Structure 1
Amino acid sequence: MGFYDDMAAMALDMISEFGQKITLRIVTPGGYDPATSETTSETITEQEGQGILADYTGLEFQANSLIKQGDKKLKLAAKGLTSAPSLLNEVIADGKTYSIVPPLKEINPAGTPLLYELQVRA
């Protein structure tokens, strides 16, 4: 196991200890087959992760006009996730469903994802 693999494991351990269980919902839209004139339904897959959900501070509101009232910041451990979150995914935390809005950051030194920093909106 390399240095960054150890760091990813450490990030997961710390977030698991101080954070909460987060569900990442991946919605894959259905498609249309013009040859058969049939539409396939969307598929929903969910994966469990560990994250820390927090409110934005007043200084963050002043520095970034893309943050809206009620938005939350989510730090999501990368280790244990089978795929990276995208803007098309949803996050379930504290019994609420959130959409992921830009910016979406990946902390990824040397090609090993450690943490995702997401802005989420109910």
Structure 2
Amino acid sequence: MSSLTSPRTYTALAAFQTFDAVVCGIPVAYIEKSFDTLEVPQRIRWVFPTVKAASAVGLVAARRLPALARLTTFMLTVYFVLAVGAHVRVRDNVVSTVPAVGFLALYAAMTAQGPSISR
């Protein structure tokens, strides 16, 4: 089992997605500034905490429902492809774009490998 397939990794990322959903839902000033930079309309910003909370559920399900966890990592890969595209579209600075690129690579690798299944 590699660290990418470990249930602990899925659980840790679920915790992070939960935290991220909360800070997007409040919203924290830094997140608001990012949304403004990326030109995300106010009327659709509610989608982000919803999607992040749903992804946390899918990630935490890795131990019992590995297919759902793999679907979740795939959808997060799509999400981060769109996020990187948004950063590139507005010519955002590299420091702001790197986390999205990192998460894109992480979730793509996790999708390719899938979670470990303990029997």
TM-score, normalised with respect to structure 1 = 0.34
Q: Point out the structure with the larger helix share.
A: 2
| TM-score of the pair, normalised by structure 2 | 0.35
Answer 1 or 2: which has greater strand percent: 1
Task: Tell which structure's C-alpha radius of gyration is larger.
Answer: 1
* Higher RCO (CA 8 Å, separation ≥ 6 residues): 2
